[in-house]
Amino acid sequence: MAAACARTLCKVGWTLLDSPAGLRPGTVYRLVGNVSAQGSRRAYGTGGTGVRSKLLSGLRGGGGRVVGCAFLLGGGLGLYHTVKLQVQQHLAEEDTKVSGGGLKLTLYQYKTCPFCSKVRAFLDYHRLPYEIVEVNPVMRKEIKWSTYRKVPILMVDSEVQLNDSSVIISALKTYLINKEKSMSEILRCYPELKSVNERGKEVTEYSNKYWLMLSEDETLATYPEKDLQKEEMKWRKWADDWLVHLISPNVYRTTGEALASFDYIVREGKFGAFEGFFAKYVGAAAMFLISKRLKSRHNLQDDVRQDLYEAVNDWVAAIGKKRKFMGGDQPNLADLAVFGVLRVMEGLQAFDDMMENTKVKNWYRRVERASLNYEGPN
């Protein structure tokens, strides 16, 4: 519409300038009338017939060339802005298509959950746009449609449901590398397994969740050096099986720290007024007691900070002095997993103590910058 109007203005302008008739009284009136008849039948304006009569009267006075220049200028500006807008829209569409991998992603999460934090770190680093649905930890009505009752849950194109943080990350990474397979096809490579744990509770696990489903050539391109893949898988599993279990005993170590932790959880989470009050005080007391049981279950030291310090120093030692990240010059999936787990302690005393008493700070800040600045390959 805008382009058609601009072309019409240019056509009138050139006609006025090129035709000798442009100097004769009444010519402009006929030209405008002809163009109006051939173009749109709709008229837009704020003036009535009086304004139009004055305008046409002025045109009959012989200012054809001046008016022609005005038409040309208006038409040219109109075309310029129309083309500019179309180019911007095209670039925006291309950018969305490229950065989003063609996927519409919705993440159901608790913000302070380390497993959810892992997924966000991966999505941010790889420049994958996503929507967040914060789940109420008490009622969980936001995921009442799902038989899988934990978070994170990632919905892909509102059709494919991915459960378990490590499955989500492995499946998405596979999709980004191998675009020939659909997400549904990739998900079949991570079958669900149900079992009963030592406490008699049914648990759901997933096969192959630390594996990327790639061809031999794709695997070689992704892991060019020997043992890089095994190393990445080993430390991703370590983050899930060991590091994550150090978080609760440390952030709920004392009654003061437990209260501060739940104050943060209530601020960042999705709680009603009564739920927030209940969670902050009753939840803090409960988790203080539960953290003592977790300490015993995982055979932690009396001072659980020492276990946290040893764990992150072991991680830094595994990276070594010659690498910025475990992935080399760029974070790999293990870097993002460990970062995601540790990040949930930010703002709490346990995090400050860890940064002050271990060697993790420089690595942590590098991964943080890479994730927040969306520096990953897509």
Bond from prior residue into 152 cis (ω within 30 degrees of 0): yes
Q: Does residue 116 carry a catalytic annotation?
A: yes
Decide: 340 and 121 in contact? Cβ < 8 Å: yes
Rounded Cα distance between 229 and 344, Å, is 26
Q: Per the residue annotation, which of 10, 108, 113, 223 is the catalytic one?
A: 113
The DSSP result for 93-126, as a single string, is HHHHHHHTTT--EEEEE-TT-HHHHHHHHHHHHT
212: left (phi over 0), alpha (psi -120 to 50) or beta: beta
Rounded Cα distance between 187 and 110, Å, is 23
Place of tokens 């139009």: 52
CB-based contacts of 159, cutoff 8 Å, min separation 6: none
Q: Per the residue annotation, which of 71, 110, 122, 262 is the catalytic one?
A: 110
Pairing of strands 153-156, 105-109: antiparallel
Start-end of H helices in 39-164 = 49-60, 64-99, 114-125
CB-based contacts of 209, cutoff 8 Å, min separation 6: 164, 166, 167, 170, 190
Q: Does residue 175 carry a catalytic annotation?
A: no
Per 3-state DSSP, the chain is made up of helix, strand and coil in percentages (nearest 5) of: 60, 10, 30
Q: Does residue 29 carry a catalytic annotation?
A: no
Rounded Cα distance between 331 and 366, Å, is 9
Rounded Cα distance between 339 and 235, Å, is 12
Return the H-helix or E-strand segment holding 134: strand 130-134
Q: Per the residue annotation, which of 71, 108, 115, 264 is the catalytic one?
A: 115
Q: Per the residue annotation, which of 116, 223, 271, 309 is the catalytic one?
A: 116
Q: Does residue 113 carry a catalytic annotation?
A: yes
Place of tokens 């709709």: 42
Active site residues: 110, 113, 115-116
